[in-house]
Structure 1
């Protein structure tokens, strides 16, 4: 709930619903006016359950409740009891008049703060125009995404990604994370740094929950979005919604094509070889994608709804890279040189289906039962060829290699949640969930010998992975006028096994853990609150961390998984301070996280070939400070700022060598938004990430900027968006790995990657009662 002004002593509350169906209406506007002067006093927007609570300094008031497509309700006969006026259920009737004359839209604030999470409303971020789901995360406070697609929350990995509050293959790293989600499908992104026991315990750094759009306005409504861009970035999106008394039918369709160029460099050297290997290359990745979402809600009656949703996506990928390798002697002179070319083709089918049943009870608006069953599948059929072409020198390689991958992952989730309010202050939640993963990866590496392809048996195998997690939780919450507390306990039992079919090598793990949580809040003044929280989390090894196969794109810099990897555990503490005024709001957080059995990528070098493998190394203590501020100096200018500082202390040892270190990474994001004449909005975003250290690496800092421009035309029924991502092509991934010690050979490794600047121009048109998209969609990198 977004409250615009709260510095008052009387409270007005209620719930807003559709007059015909009785369904809650989120994001309705509630205005409190002085009854005698008709001047605005304060206001709010309703939450997901249609509820609202707004403060006023006087009792002689009128309340106006409005929502696009509905007739405004005005309430004047208002009485207060103990400084509270409960308006009960307010029913809004559908407005049958056309919207051709004028279209007025209210905007939610970019970020809303709630007890245990923050909600980032996607549509109000202009630089989100043309972004994919993964790129969109990089605009969210506390979240950073590097060029390789690695997601960090407050500077830490181990982040769990959910779709509509549930795990999804469509958002997993093995499924080309968020590859089929375009920004016009996304309503909001929730950042949960300290989740309660109701949520999965997975993700030692926290949870990012992506909420997809699902309109429910009566009649036929929809929108069309068309994008084009440089480099190749072309897509078409269609959203349709048909609502009747009993049924809500919704669909989204997207097709597109995009090219992702890349420049890379690397250096490898070690004491066991007098020479070093230097490479530089460039290439691009092309993706053509198709996705469709179909779903329906059937309202059996006012209290029972059944929903069925299906999501299918299909990707066609092609990659082409050319990399020049030089073998340098001790005098830094090239004694051999060759070019390594790569060509990759892949197809990726993905689908997800969900059956959900929701029952509401009459005794309280929050009393409900929710059951869902979800099935996911992601497949990949990929083949890559590598050709080394000698330029000069006896050491130049002329090998030809080929890799073939047949991959499949199925994930099945069954979830039951029950919420029981005993009164307006005390609520209990309980539920259970079972998630099962079944994965296979048939991977072969072949070399051309005497005109025949010969499989390398040492690097090829069939890898099978299964994991089942059974969890149950209970939480209890007490919420008074100024004080609230929520405590919970979750238990999860994990059964995981891996198998290398050809060698018969197996690894099985079975363990049960308890995950407590505690959250509290206290409203010191009407515009100043303090929140605190504790939770225990787990990060289980992901598929690609366990998969032992080698990535040989660069044969001098390869990565492999570790089937014996163990999960890491984290205890997380944080205190938040929230201050809110009409033109200025400030949120500050102090947090601490203690992590054991930390999963860290460890690199070793043999004959100038660096091999990186994840291992469990030591403990990690992370203490940080985060600041989020918003200032609206005028009606046409708004400023948002996000700052995060994180001090990391690592204690660890590997093969007799100490890897203790400390690091102080920080990130800054400043957003400036201007509302210009002629319904033009302009937004500029500046980002900075400092240099920081990891287990063996030094990661370089960088700064980059994005801009977004939006123009509403045809009385708001159409919107034109222009976005420029990374204006100065300064967003890079650069790292140095330096290792010295008696037990580990001395070596040096340098890696550099850069994507470049992306331009996207899009137009969106809404029809029926549909609204033009505030942003447009594209594929991820």
Structure 2
């Protein structure tokens, strides 16, 4: 109440001040001229007839269109202005209403009476305000949840990987591995399609910043419309694209510590026929990581300790250009392209110590210098046809091509510090090329208000080559190490055809689907001429149902069958030698794993709180898991197909807004798993449990300041050979809006207490291995400016 009184006082102060100076001006003019003109009138809202106070009434010269004088309306909407000009027009404006221009009037006895002037609401402006206002982070639909990240200020300046880590049910490890409800095998899509930017193995998601993301769709039980890969579901990242007439856009700059500097922007120009859009970004980031390892041989008492720090320093550039062309009311063509380029520098230094029992035998330091250039591009054509009888009756045809390359050179030097000489210098060279092509057709026909059918097909081609060379320094000459050198080729073609049928009324609905996929996979290790060819066809049924119990309570039921096809890095026999006592390799004989997924979800609201709870069950066969072997104190991790995994889980998400300035969110996920399997006469039968929780709060302070706090906890869990420890961390964010949101300032702190630490233990009868990894605390500061009809970091307008 006090604030409102002060605002009213200030408004009246400025109103009276303006009126005073206008009056003084008119008095001074009266001394030089004989007659003035008085303009009077009253301003009301067209719909309600209520007065409109504090609106702007301005007089402009009719010839030069320059401002002559002006005033504001009083509390009852009335106004009066004096002028000595004889050639003028009146313009009346107020936020949220259409500007009114009056040029036709009569002067009677030195007075112009405009009478009652009606202001009409500006519907376009009101729609924009409605879209850009505070919205719930999570929106529930029949077979997915939509997480809006546009207001997630703690992610300012962060990459898409770090934004994903704020999405309920999703977790991103320090290594960048993405899991959904604790399970890997997640398929990442960009705007509903495969993309080079969604390639987890190449860190391409790092080129997408939080400012570019509109929302993320979490699909735990995808329908048959989606390709069946990804055993734990699909994450669909929706990139922002303006959809308002005229020029719209936003530009942002970010800085941070460790180094995280970037400039990015988005520009959109919409006309009746065309929508031209572009996004660009350039920057530099440094990702440090502390790591420790301990390899213990329990047979002879030998131990190898390692402790070091490594960096991934990246200079990156990306630009997207595209256009929507509206041929007519029913046909829209989209053509877009993206180009990105990364320059990587990866220095590292690791200190090693070798002990026999408690006696130090040798001590040395291993240094790495790695440089890489990563070009990537993507192009897409899309045609969407809408039929006259129903806007939901559509046919869509798309073609997508992408390329990712890596030209990398690494130098390793081992320098003895104490004890036995272990000097060893190596160099590696990698030439990596990946070309992907996707062709897709989708047809949707609402037969009636209750019945809908969908059908379509998709053909995906993946063609990858990885030429990896290792050389050892022998007698001052680098000699190729044939045991570690390889040229691996991977080619995969997947043809999928699907059909779904749905019935839905106001109370309940059901959707049935079937997808058929044929996989043709070929791999070749050229240096040994080892080839592996597979061709198989699988059926993937899906069922989704919903029941609206009341306005505040709904139920959803879903079933789907999924597949995880091993990728290049899972199949390639050689991976890295950064730490030559802890090596990861691939397995060219790896088989796909299949999952049957069942889910029952309830969605309900209680007062100002909304919640969603799910019971789910997943049964996976031929589970892919990395198994460690130990020889000569060296740990080698290799993926293998081991048995089955049966998981039963419970998840709940909630949001509560007790008042206008406070919002609380929470997420809790618990699952119990039963692992069964045998590998090389070793039985891996055990049960375990895993849980995670996330609590978040958003506090609105005066002066357009928002504060966010997000706390996370990930429990430890048992693995096939040991266990992984749990960890907790907290993120902080602060936002300040200026000029009604045209300028936004953001401050973010990720992992405030530097407590996000991952520890893995392998405990076997003959050896033990310990691994420690920590990224540390990150600070970011950003500023965004919105121009045209847009707002900074708020891409209003509907996405087409």
Would you say same fold, with TM above 0.5?
yes
- Note if contact 1:174-1:543 (Cα within 8 Å) is conserved in structure 2: no
Please report how far the alpha carbon of residue 671 of structure 1 lies from its aligned counterpart in structure 2 after TM superposition.
Answer: 0.5
Structure 1 residues 481 and 104, CA, compared in 2 at 3 Å: closer, same or farther?
closer
Provide the C-alpha distance between the structure 1 equivalents of 2:638 and 2:125, rounded to a whole number of angstroms: 63
State the SS of the aligned residue for 2:589. Answer: coil
Does residue 567 (structure 1) correspond to residue 592 (structure 2)? The answer is: yes
Does residue 626 (structure 1) correspond to residue 646 (structure 2)? The answer is: no
- Note if contact 2:745-2:782 (Cα within 8 Å) is conserved in structure 1: yes
**Which residue of the partner structure matches residue 611 of structure 2?**
586
- Quick one: which of 516, 532, 542 aligns to 2:567? 542
Please report how far the alpha carbon of residue 582 of structure 1 lies from its aligned counterpart in structure 2 after TM superposition.
Answer: 4.5
Q: TM-score, normalised by structure 2?
A: 0.83
**Which residue of the partner structure matches residue 138 of structure 1?**
165
Please report how far the alpha carbon of residue 586 of structure 1 lies from its aligned counterpart in structure 2 after TM superposition.
Answer: 1.1
Provide the C-alpha distance between the structure 1 equivalents of 2:48 and 2:656, rounded to a whole number of angstroms: 31
Q: Deviations over 1:49-79 (max 9, x none)?
A: xxxxxxxxxxxxxxxxxxx99989xxxxxxx
Provide the C-alpha distance between the structure 1 equivalents of 2:353 and 2:377, rounded to a whole number of angstroms: 44
Normalized per residue, which structure has more helix?
A: 2
Provide the C-alpha distance between the structure 1 equivalents of 2:448 and 2:726, rounded to a whole number of angstroms: 52
State the SS of the aligned residue for 1:554. Answer: coil
Does residue 350 (structure 1) correspond to residue 384 (structure 2)? The answer is: no
Does residue 232 (structure 1) correspond to residue 251 (structure 2)? The answer is: no
- Quick one: which of 231, 243, 257 aligns to 2:284? 257
Provide the C-alpha distance between the structure 2 equivalents of 1:145 and 1:576, rounded to a whole number of angstroms: 24
Q: TM-score, normalised by structure 1?
A: 0.85
Provide the C-alpha distance between the structure 1 equivalents of 2:207 and 2:260, rounded to a whole number of angstroms: 14
Q: Deviations over 1:441-476 (max 9, x none)?
A: 000010001111100011111110000000010000
- Note if contact 1:484-1:521 (Cα within 8 Å) is conserved in structure 2: yes
- Quick one: which of 319, 338, 344 aligns to 1:317? 344
Does residue 751 (structure 1) correspond to residue 776 (structure 2)? The answer is: no
Does residue 336 (structure 1) correspond to residue 362 (structure 2)? The answer is: yes
- Note if contact 1:112-1:119 (Cα within 8 Å) is conserved in structure 2: yes
Provide the C-alpha distance between the structure 2 equivalents of 1:252 and 1:94, rounded to a whole number of angstroms: 28
- Quick one: which of 417, 433, 458 aligns to 1:408? 433
- Point out where structure 2 has 5 or more consecutive residues left out of the alignment: 1-46, 51-94, 100-120, 796-800
- Note if contact 2:250-2:265 (Cα within 8 Å) is conserved in structure 1: yes
Please report how far the alpha carbon of residue 103 of structure 1 lies from its aligned counterpart in structure 2 after TM superposition.
Answer: 11
- Point out where structure 1 has 5 or more consecutive residues left out of the alignment: 1-34, 39-67, 73-91, 741-745, 776-781
Structure 1 residues 125 and 338, CA, compared in 2 at 3 Å: closer, same or farther?
same
Q: Deviations over 1:207-246 (max 9, x none)?
A: 1111111112111111110001111111000111111110
Which segment drifts farther, 508-517 or 103-112?
103-112
State the SS of the aligned residue for 2:391. Answer: coil
Structure 1 residues 104 and 366, CA, compared in 2 at 3 Å: closer, same or farther?
closer
Does residue 443 (structure 1) correspond to residue 468 (structure 2)? The answer is: yes
State the SS of the aligned residue for 1:215. Answer: coil
Q: Looking at CA atoms only, which structure, 1 or 2, has the larger radius of gyration?
A: 2
Larger RCO: Structure 1 or Structure 2 (Cα < 8 Å, ≥ 6 residues apart)? 1
Please report how far the alpha carbon of residue 36 of structure 1 lies from its aligned counterpart in structure 2 after TM superposition.
Answer: 11
Please report how far the alpha carbon of residue 274 of structure 1 lies from its aligned counterpart in structure 2 after TM superposition.
Answer: 3.0
Does residue 418 (structure 1) correspond to residue 443 (structure 2)? The answer is: yes
Provide the C-alpha distance between the structure 2 equivalents of 1:631 and 1:710, rounded to a whole number of angstroms: 21
Provide the C-alpha distance between the structure 1 equivalents of 2:274 and 2:152, rounded to a whole number of angstroms: 32
Does residue 703 (structure 1) correspond to residue 728 (structure 2)? The answer is: yes
Q: Deviations over 1:243-280 (max 9, x none)?
A: 11100000001000011111110001224543110111
State the SS of the aligned residue for 2:791. Answer: coil
Question: What CA RMSD, in Å, does the superposition of the two structures yield over aligned residues?
Answer: 2.1
- Note if contact 1:445-1:459 (Cα within 8 Å) is conserved in structure 2: yes
**Which residue of the partner structure matches residue 377 of structure 1?**
403
Does residue 190 (structure 1) correspond to residue 217 (structure 2)? The answer is: yes
- Note if contact 1:69-1:769 (Cα within 8 Å) is conserved in structure 2: no
Structure 1 residues 707 and 300, CA, compared in 2 at 3 Å: closer, same or farther?
same
**Which residue of the partner structure matches residue 37 of structure 2?**
none
**Which residue of the partner structure matches residue 399 of structure 1?**
424
**Which residue of the partner structure matches residue 782 of structure 2?**
762
Structure 1 residues 71 and 502, CA, compared in 2 at 3 Å: closer, same or farther?
farther
Please report how far the alpha carbon of residue 333 of structure 1 lies from its aligned counterpart in structure 2 after TM superposition.
Answer: 3.0
- Note if contact 2:176-2:200 (Cα within 8 Å) is conserved in structure 1: no
**Which residue of the partner structure matches residue 413 of structure 2?**
387
Please report how far the alpha carbon of residue 686 of structure 1 lies from its aligned counterpart in structure 2 after TM superposition.
Answer: 0.2
- Quick one: which of 641, 659, 680 aligns to 2:684? 659
**Which residue of the partner structure matches residue 6 of structure 1?**
none
Provide the C-alpha distance between the structure 2 equivalents of 1:527 and 1:201, rounded to a whole number of angstroms: 33
**Which residue of the partner structure matches residue 711 of structure 2?**
686
Please report how far the alpha carbon of residue 697 of structure 1 lies from its aligned counterpart in structure 2 after TM superposition.
Answer: 3.2
For 1:603-642, list aligned pairs within 5 A: 603-642=628-667
